[in-house]
Amino acid sequence: MAQKFKALVAATVAGLLMSACGGGAGSDAAGGKELNLWMPPLVADKQDKAHWEEVLKPFEEEHGVDVNVTIVPWDAYETKYLTGVSSGNGPDVGYMYSEMIGDYISKDQLVALDEHVTDAQKENFYFLENGKFNDKQYSIPLVVGGARLLVYNQDLLDKAGVKAPTTWEEFTEAGKKLKEAGITPFVAPWGDARGTMNGAFFPFVWQAGGELFEADGSATRFDSPEVIKAASYINELRESGIMDPNVTGMTEEITRGQFLDGKVAFIVDTDQNAKSWAEAGIKYGFVPSLKGPDGKQGTFIASDSLVMLKQCKDPKLCYDLISFMTEGKQMEKFHQKSNFPPIGKDENNTYPEEFATLYSDNAEIMNPLPVVPKGTGTYQVLYTQLQQMLNGQKTPEQALKDAATEANAMLK
């Protein structure tokens, strides 16, 4: 996931992967004896290894294979992959987030899955498109969630006499009335690491009809008219006082704390934190996405996936493992121990009732970060330039022009 990015590790990606050989020794999958599966800690009881070993028993029996499950801690995740793949001791099947996938594609370490994906899977999975890059299917989404929602305090809206907004224009008008009523309209954690843009900026880009990168990942679109439009709107919220002008010094802990204390009307948060809203006594509501000037919608979701690495000697067996893990029955067991929504129609939906159809009904407006080789560092460049804009040091146009220039050089 985006927040797991470690700058120092990213700086070593090119060097380590350059030395990786295309089809390392890997496991003895050719004889159908053994597969190596790498996963992060995801289940609530922290018994991930035991969980997956139990879930995979039927698969092992059916295919006559031993699946060796390795749980890689988040704080060593990218390092473990880099050293494992470069030495030929990485996984046959592994879990990756978007920022990782792009770098491994660029070094030819992942197997495209197009010939393996079935028509039934295409019909079943809600977010299969998230696993594509350059029209090739490189991954199968496994964990999709954390949608960034515009969450509001209904009591504060009632006090100011405003309704929940559905458009940028309505949000601005609501903010003005809230401010006149002595209520802080909106805060965002612009003082956090660049991952804050998942909620504070990227949704507005998609609502403006923009994209962050060219489709082939060769360049950013940071200075495109649509991205400038989104940045200009955010800057206008700050200049008008609808967004607290001190946001560049605010962390997520501060902004969420203000919302839970009933001091602010709007924040961008995820449904996974709904329990805290309720426990704080907030009469809350949410909007999945505002509509931009042209009626477009969009918001961010985390979308982490299963990939097949080139050291897998039996691609069919490796894909059978991916297919088994993402079937409804296995996902139901996984979701009993993790706070994520279903990824397909074949799963019995036991997600909290008020959010049960949030993802399936809004799949077309939910966007993960795009898979872009060497794209990870460009987000930090964009974040730094937007910080300067919000501090009044640059105009939106200048900030995004500078961001595009520096980031595009990184991609080359």
Domains of the chain, earliest start first: 33-145+303-367 (3.40.190.10), 146-301+374-411 (3.40.190.10)
- Give me the pLDDT at residue 10, please: 39
Output the average pLDDT for the chain.
91
For residue 164, give the amino acid letter: A
pLDDT value of residue 99: 80
The tokens of 181 are what? 């009523």
What confidence score (pLDDT) does residue 248 get? Answer: 94
Residue 19 has pLDDT above 60, yes or no: no
Compute the average pLDDT of residues 173-184: 98
The predicted pLDDT at position 305 comes to 96
pTM for this predicted structure: 0.81
Percent of the chain predicted with pLDDT > 90:
77
Is pLDDT larger for residue 162 or for residue 352? 162
For residue 1, pLDDT beyond 50? no
Q: What is the mean pLDDT of residues 130-155?
A: 94
Average pLDDT over residues 389-393: 96
What pLDDT score does 9 carry? 38
Better-predicted residue by pLDDT, 52 or 349 = 52
Band of pLDDT at residue 374, cut at 50, 70 and 90: confident
Q: Which amino acid is at 348?
A: N
Residue 226 above 50 pLDDT?
A: yes
- What is the three-state SS of the chain? CHHHCCHHHHHCHHHHHHCCCCCCCCCCHHHCCEEEEEECCCCCCCCHHHHHHHHCHHHHHHHCCEEEEEECCHHHHHHHHHHHHHHCCCCCEEEECHHHHHHHHHCCCECCCCCCCCHHHHHHECCHHHHEECCEECCEEEEEECCEEEEEEHHHHHHHCCCCCCEHHHHHHHHHHHHHCCCEEECCCCCCCHHHHHHHCHHHHHHCCCCCECCCCCCECCCCHHHHHHHHHHHHHHHCCCECCCHHHCCHHHHHHHHHCCCEEEEEEEHHHHHHHHHCCCCEEEECCCECCCCCCCEECEEEEEEEECCCCCHHHHHHHHHHHCCHHHHHHHHCCCCCCCCECCCCCCCCHHHCCHHHHCHHHEECCCCCCCCHHHHHHHHHHHHHHHCCCCCHHHHHHHHHHHHHHHHC
| The token pair that represents 66 in the structure block | 């031993």
The answer to whether residue 339 scores a pLDDT higher than 90 is no
Query: What's residue 373's pLDDT?
Result: 85
Quick one: pLDDT band at residue 307, thresholds 50, 70, 90?
very high
For residue 328, name the pLDDT band (cuts at 50, 70, 90): very high
pLDDT in tens, 356-366: 889 889 989 99
Q: What is the pLDDT of residues 38-85, one digit of tens each?
A: 999 999 888 999 999 999 999 999 999 999 999 999 999 999 999 999
Residues 108-137 pLDDT 10s: 999 999 999 999 999 999 999 999 988 999
Whether residue 32 is predicted with pLDDT greater than 80 in this model: the reply is no
Range scoring the smallest mean pLDDT among 218-227, 247-256, 335-344 = 335-344
Listed range (33-37, 257-261, 349-353) with the worst mean pLDDT? 349-353
- Between 102 and 6, the more confident residue is 102
Please give the average per-residue pLDDT across 327-332, as a whole number. 96
